Structure 1
Amino acid sequence: MSEKATRNFIDAYEETRAALPGVGGWLARRRESALDSFRETGLPHRRLEDWKYTDLRQTLEKAAFAPAPAHEGAVVLPDRRSASAFAAIDRHVLIFVNGRYRVDLSQAARLPKGVELHALADVVHEQWAKDLVERRFDDTRQAENIVDLNTALMSDGACLRIRKGVKLDKPLHLLFFSADPGASHTRNLILLENEAEATILETHVGEVASFADVVTDVAIGDGARLNHVKLQDEASDAVHLATLRARLSADAKLSSFTLTLGCGVSRSQSFVLFSGEGAEANIDGAYALRNKQHADQFCVMDHAVPACTSHTLFKGVLDGESEGVFQGKVIVRPHAQKSDGRQMTHALLLSRDAAMNAKPELEIYADDVQCAHGSTVGELSKEAIFYLRSRGIPEAEARRLLVLAFLDEALDLTPHDLARDALKLLVSEWFGEAVL
């Protein structure tokens, strides 16, 4: 165990516990239990199979992030397009600064009847919130130390409950801004009751050395639909750790897309449990890395019941000395016949110093299934570049066009039309800045 890194977070808990939501209630007891578990296991390390390509323990030991302070003054968002990428979309907006909700900056009035939206402190006595926080998945044992860390230190988060049959009238945008150096621990709780529908946009931006620890717990009822679009673009010395845990009931559908652009070290991990027949989950994404950025995508689809469908596609481009990671697993339980699980990852290396590690897996215990997985790593086609140059297109522009065309297949999976257009524009401009 790395005593320094673990001790830093234990000390942070002792310093902040009195100000954390849920003092004296079930959540306080849950925090203590989570801290005990985290104290025993510590941060994940490379000897764990699921973390062999990302040394989070060493990263956090070097950075030694103290808790980010509450930021109550004026806020100026970074002068980068990612901070305003979704500005043209008619949406409800919740703004979190250093991981804490700022009601004075947010715009979420006049929500439809049947839509409940609160900060974490306002729902700690609700049974549905307790159920989500206390839920543990059998297949996430190697991730529980990360969830335990978040549970012990979570200071705020967006808590959304949509009643049966209600459709959120426009997207809900969660904007997380790191204004000051330090660590923030956010817990989002999302409950869609039967036949409910919602679209959530999520943005993480900042220009300071920060550690964003985000856990999002999702429960989707029978026939409900959740679309989720995430954009992550933080400072080069920032660390981003995001965990999505979703449970899908019968005929439920989850469509989630993540675009990763900025951060020194990032890891996005998704755990989907199918608990009702006929459910569908799409966990897709794209990433564009340069310099010494490191991005790790980890995904587990657990087909615990029959006749469910899962799809995962991640595509990335890597320049400079950047490093990408994709690890995924489709699990089909013995009785989960008629399962359909597909998992693909493709990476394009723009530099000889860039690296990609890919490890898609299938763990199948049933025979009447359709499952496939695969990965490719390559470079730009010299023939394609030559063809475009022969048509009068400069080499730099030819390379840029080929890279954008490569990413388009993934970006097209963004489950919201205007958000898809915004992400494509953002990627195009990002590569306009890159040296290809």
Structure 2
Amino acid sequence: MNASVSIKHTQAECDLFDRFKAAKADLAGSVAVTALREAALGQIRDKGLPHRRVEEYKYSDLRAFMKSATPLAPAADADTIKAVLDGQDSYAGLERYRIVIANGTFQADLSDTGALASEGVSLTALSDVLAGENGTTMLTPPKSGPNDGVLALNTAFLQGGVVIAVKAGAHVTKPVELVQVATAAGAQVTRNRITLGKGAKLRLLETFIGDPGEGELNTVFDYDLSDEAALAATRLIVGDARGARLFTSIATLGADAEFKSLGFIAGPRFTRNQQFINFTGENSEAKIYGVTMAGGDTLADQTLVVDHAVPHCNSREFFKTVLDGRARGVYQGRINVAPHAQKSDGEMMTQALLLSEEAEMANKPELEIFADDVLCAHGATSGQIDEDLLFYLRARGIPEAEARTLLVLAFLSEAIEEYGEDDVTEGLEERVRAWLADH
């Protein structure tokens, strides 16, 4: 006898169901896309929001955190968007192109569409693609996370985003900042597809500014690298956000491709930055870095799954975490090596520095290997500031507070500098100093 098990929905889940009823008619998409939205909402209805009894969310219980769910953010006017952009520049002084999404909607008039076109980059509103015959291809889940609850939320409530296509052989000369702006309270749910043609190169800066109040931000970046393409993606997740910050990367790498990313977290109350990397062509390389700073009662989760599905590919994962107050840090990393993926080379390291007795760090590195000719390793450490080093600096006349700052900065800078994007290194290290000054 099979008995169906029903769950008691939380207030936030009930709010989500009401949100879908209210917004369904306005959400972009063909009939097939709408069916996928309804199926994704059905997953939330059947299983609830991700919670601690789901292995992947054991240490970051979204269901417990979300007490309610706000409506989707309303449309924004150009003047208000410009005011927020002018007041909160994440990379002041850095010459770059800019692509703007505001309250979940691509703003072509405020983006450098013409300049990017001259560099071989085309921009298309995701809402236009979702309404077309191939709209469902924008919602394909990663191989390693088909039932992920955060992705289901994204699919159900997806407002918009942008499709960025870099033509084959194009080397974009300046970084491209994709900035998502909140001008009003409410949830923002976006998805962005970044496609690089053969031999194309792009440096992408992903930033998020404004105040959505209690509304969650749920955004997906879908990277598709053709053979010999190269992408560097820097994600900046900062500010005292009250709502959940949910980020997902889906990267597919062709042959001889190079992908590297840095997820920088500092401030929000609840952050989950999850990445799914899949090698589909041989002789490719992925370098994934993470820098996390959390204090007070905040939670910061860096989750990573790398699928070595073909031979002769390399992956390197290097994550640094600093925790203060009663903050909780999470690192979950898994390297999968398929049976035929011989000569795979994967290394994973996560290191945490705890600045208080009440801070907690959960490290969960994993290897799942089904091939016999591979080089794979993982490591994890957690500890406090080395008192001998602190004494050494103080003995040379450096005040204790400054000495602690120097040691923590050196700890985190190892990942920032190994990432190797000189355009952003100094700015990120300044953010580290500013965070330390407040903790």
| Alpha-carbon displacement from aligned partner over 1:19-45 (angstroms, at most 9, x marks no partner) | 2222x4432333233333333333111
Q: Secondary structure at the match of 1:260?
A: strand
> Corresponding residue for 1:196?
200
> Corresponding residue for 2:21?
14
Residue 353 of structure 2: which of 348, 355, 366 is its match?
A: 348
- Of 170-179 and 280-289, deviating more is 170-179
Give me the whole-angstrom Cα distance separating, in 1, the residues matched to 2:205 and 2:424.
8
| Alpha-carbon displacement from aligned partner over 1:303-361 (angstroms, at most 9, x marks no partner) | 11111111111101111111100000001111111001111100100111111110000
What residue ranges of structure 1 are gaps of 5+ in the alignment? none
| Alpha-carbon displacement from aligned partner over 1:203-253 (angstroms, at most 9, x marks no partner) | 123343331001111211111111100101132423100111111111111
> Corresponding residue for 1:164?
168
Task: Determine whether 1:323 maps to 2:328.
Answer: yes
Aligned partner letter, 1:278? N
What residue ranges of structure 2 are gaps of 5+ in the alignment? 1-6
Quote how far apart the aligned CAs of 1:130 are: 4.2
> Corresponding residue for 2:376?
371
Quote how far apart the aligned CAs of 1:2 are: 5.0
Quote how far apart the aligned CAs of 1:165 are: 1.6
Give me the whole-angstrom Cα distance separating, in 2, the residues matched to 1:17 and 1:66.
12
Aligned partner letter, 1:119? A
Asked whether the 8 Å contact 2:307–2:336 carries over to 1, the reply is yes
Give me the whole-angstrom Cα distance separating, in 1, the residues matched to 2:8 and 2:195.
36
Quote how far apart the aligned CAs of 1:422 are: 1.5
Q: Secondary structure at the match of 1:402?
A: helix
> Corresponding residue for 2:312?
307
Quote how far apart the aligned CAs of 1:98 are: 2.4
Q: Cα–Cα, structure 1 residues 119 and 415, in superposed 2: closer, same or farther, change >3 Å?
A: farther
Give me the whole-angstrom Cα distance separating, in 2, the residues matched to 1:415 and 1:20.
40
TM-score with structure 2 setting the length: 0.92
Q: Cα–Cα, structure 1 residues 388 and 415, in superposed 2: closer, same or farther, change >3 Å?
A: closer
Quote how far apart the aligned CAs of 1:138 are: 3.3
Q: Cα–Cα, structure 1 residues 78 and 319, in superposed 2: closer, same or farther, change >3 Å?
A: farther
Q: Cα–Cα, structure 1 residues 40 and 63, in superposed 2: closer, same or farther, change >3 Å?
A: closer
Give me the whole-angstrom Cα distance separating, in 1, the residues matched to 2:229 and 2:28.
30
Asked whether the 8 Å contact 1:204–1:234 carries over to 2, the reply is no
Asked whether the 8 Å contact 1:178–1:210 carries over to 2, the reply is no
Task: Determine whether 1:36 maps to 2:48.
Answer: no
Give me the whole-angstrom Cα distance separating, in 2, the residues matched to 1:242 and 1:406.
25
- Correspondence 1:106-255 to 2 at 5 A: 106-111=111-116, 112=118, 114-124=120-130, 130-131=136-137, 133-143=138-148, 145-207=149-211, 208-255=213-260
- Of 118-127 and 420-429, deviating more is 118-127
Q: Cα–Cα, structure 1 residues 383 and 291, in superposed 2: closer, same or farther, change >3 Å?
A: same
TM-score with structure 1 setting the length: 0.93
Residue 54 of structure 2: which of 39, 48, 53 is its match?
A: 48
> Corresponding residue for 2:9?
3
Aligned length, in residue pairs:
428
Asked whether the 8 Å contact 2:139–2:155 carries over to 1, the reply is no
> Corresponding residue for 2:393?
388
Aligned partner letter, 2:368? E
- Correspondence 1:22-101 to 2 at 5 A: 22=29, 24-60=30-66, 62-72=67-77, 73-75=79-81, 76-77=83-84, 83-101=88-106
Quote how far apart the aligned CAs of 1:113 are: 5.4
Give me the whole-angstrom Cα distance separating, in 2, the residues matched to 1:127 and 1:252.
29
- Of 320-329 and 196-205, deviating more is 196-205
Q: Cα–Cα, structure 1 residues 56 and 324, in superposed 2: closer, same or farther, change >3 Å?
A: same
Q: Secondary structure at the match of 1:210?
A: coil
Aligned partner letter, 1:189? R
Quote how far apart the aligned CAs of 1:287 are: 1.0
Task: Determine whether 1:358 maps to 2:363.
Answer: yes
